Amino acid sequence: MELNRRTVIAGAAAAGLAATTLGAGSAEAAPGGRKPVKEPFGKLADGTRIYRWSLENGGTRLKVLNWGGVVQSLEIPDRHGHYANVSLGFGDIDDYVAKTPYFGALIGRYGNRIAQGRFTLDGTTHQLSVNDGVNSLHGGKQGFDKHVWDVEPFTKGTDVGLHLHYTSVDGEMGYPGTLRATVTYTLTRHGEWRITYEATTDRATVVNLTSHVYWNLAGEGSGTIEDHELRIAASRYTPTDSGLIPTGELAEVAGTPFDFRHAKPIGRDIRAGHEQQVQAKGYDHNWALDKGITAEPVHVATLRDPCSGRTLKIATDQPGLQFYSGNFLDGTLTGTGGRTYRQGDALCLETQHFPDSPNHANFPSTVLRPGQTYRTTTVHTFSA
């Protein structure tokens, strides 16, 4: 943790933030962090109650719903110690159910797109739910983001967090096998947000879980992210066809607007007129990380807002990173702060395997078989 980050946290504690409760039911703090606090967040049409859990540790404040594992807000301080919610979201459950473009959600069974919602595994062709033209996106019409998860709060040493559980039955959205998934959100004493995904199956299937937080480090609803500076440790990316399905090529980023090997403002090349950008209306592509698949998370991306100084570093063990520049936000959605979200007002950095991997033998495999455990970790580190 950087020295100025320590100073910000110490200053916040001195100002009394460390002694402020998060709401009714807040029991004694865990060493280094607040015990997660549960509160009502509304009801679904069938009467199912939706809850929100609030966590705080190391200067990071996180609020999570049991609906889709949604990160409803994530607050971090700027260089002066001033907090802002840096993730897009809604203030009520009805908007999440009816309108959300995956704001803050857990994505499964398969993050990103599968061409024509179809793949063949062990000689059997499986037809999935299609919800993006002729393709399947983020698990289909009722992916993991549209289900209620079981939530188990925990404190462990200086960490606080939530275990989220969901069982996807055999055939759900067309996927084979009953998949038992557990996703753990952890806030560390340094304010890191760790996501650990685990899953097992009773039948061969494909799985690719990820998180779909929309980031704006200046604060949600504050305007464009085109001045944010981004670095991605990747020399290649996967070009797509007009349906945003990978062609199978691993193209070099050198000499193209897709070169983020050195940090640059997102807006510098976003209107360069490259064919890939024109059909995606900006950036909506998977970067093939230079490190490939690793046993432990490795730092692969840095996002910085030069005005506030807020910086996000992402480490992952996954081989890919989907960078989406908020191209389809159109001003029709009003967020938690009461402001509308327009094109380019946020971005997503989704750690993952490659889109449409089941249909590309040259891509890293996403097959999970009985007796195996799918396990992957992504770490978000914040500073200012």
The residues carrying an active-site annotation are 212, 350
Cβ-based burial of 165 (10 A; exposed 0-12, middle 13-18, buried ≥19) = middle
Buried-exposed string 105-141: b where 16+ CB fall within 10 A, e elsewhere: bbbbbbbbbbbbbbbebeeeebebbbbbeebbbbbbe
Give the residue carrying structure tokens 């001195």.
14
At position 337, the amino acid (one-letter code) is G
Buried-exposed string 5-17: b where 16+ CB fall within 10 A, e elsewhere: beebbeebeeeeb
Q: DSSP code of 207?
A: -
Token pair for 102: 């995956």
Cβ pair 261, 235 in contact under 8 A: yes
Phi then psi for residue 5, to 5 deg, are -65, -40
321 forms beta bridges with: 287, 351
Pick the closest to residue 303 from 238, 212, 218 (CA basis): 218
Token pair for 69: 């594992």
Phi/psi-derived region of residue 328, left when phi > 0, alpha when psi is between -120 and 50, beta in every other case: alpha
Give the span between the Cα atoms of 256 and 270, in whole angstroms: 11
Give the span between the Cα atoms of 348 and 54, in whole angstroms: 22
